[in-house]
Amino acid sequence: MINLVEKADAAKSRNLLELVERMLVYKFSSYSRQELEAMFGLTEWQQTRFYQEIEEETKLKTELETKLKTIPRLLNEGLTVEQIARIFELDIEVVKTCNQTAK
């Protein structure tokens, strides 16, 4: 594996390193990020595509969950389904479904 990385150009080398990092994460999934960094010297962990994708997915999921938790309160305050959908940039059906689930 090391020979492959040494022979590869910069872009391929980075992709191979990301693949190895991803394999390590899956293999040692019970370890914390800090433990993996210490074990394998993953000093640029936050710069990997894997980390950035997970961070973005987590951010989007949290943002959606927050919006969905807020919808019933906004409806109770008198906002319409259409207003909430526009404000949160959600489909009207998502807001309606959330409203029905909350009842």
pLDDT tens figures, 52-87: 888 899 999 999 999 999 999 999 999 999 999 999
Burial level of 95, CB count in 10 A (0-12/13-18/19+)?
buried
Please identify which residue in the block is written with the tokens 């987590």.
58
Are both 64 and 34 inside the same structural domain?
no
Least confident window among 6-10, 11-15, 87-91: 6-10
Contact present, 67 and 90 (Cβ < 8 Å): yes
Count of domains observed in the chain? 2
Computed over every residue of the chain, the mean pLDDT equals 81
Domain holding 38, by residue range, is 1-47
Are both 38 and 9 inside the same structural domain?
yes
The pTM of this model reads 0.56
Residue 69 resides in a domain:
yes
Residue 85 resides in a domain:
yes
Are both 34 and 67 inside the same structural domain?
no
> Any idea of the CA torsion for 87, 90, 95, 97, to the nearest 10 degrees?
-170
